[in-house]
Amino acid sequence: MASIVRVDEAEIPWSDYEPGEIRVKMISGRDGPAPPMQYVEYAPGHSDRVHSHTEGEVFVVMAGEVVVGDTVSGPGTVVYIPSGVEYAMRGGDIGARFLRIVVP
Q: Which residues contact 56 (CB under 8 A, 6 or more apart)?
A: 80, 81, 82, 83, 102, 103, 104
pLDDT tens per residue, range 56-88: 999 999 999 999 999 999 999 999 999 999 999
Per-domain residue ranges of the chain:
22-103
Query: Which comes out higher in pLDDT, residue 50 or 29?
Result: 50
The fold for domain 22-103 equals Jelly Rolls (2.60.120)
Instruction: Compute φ and ψ for 52, nearest 5 degrees.
Output: -145, 170
Taking phi over 0 as left and psi of -120 to 50 as alpha, with beta for the rest, 31 belongs to: alpha
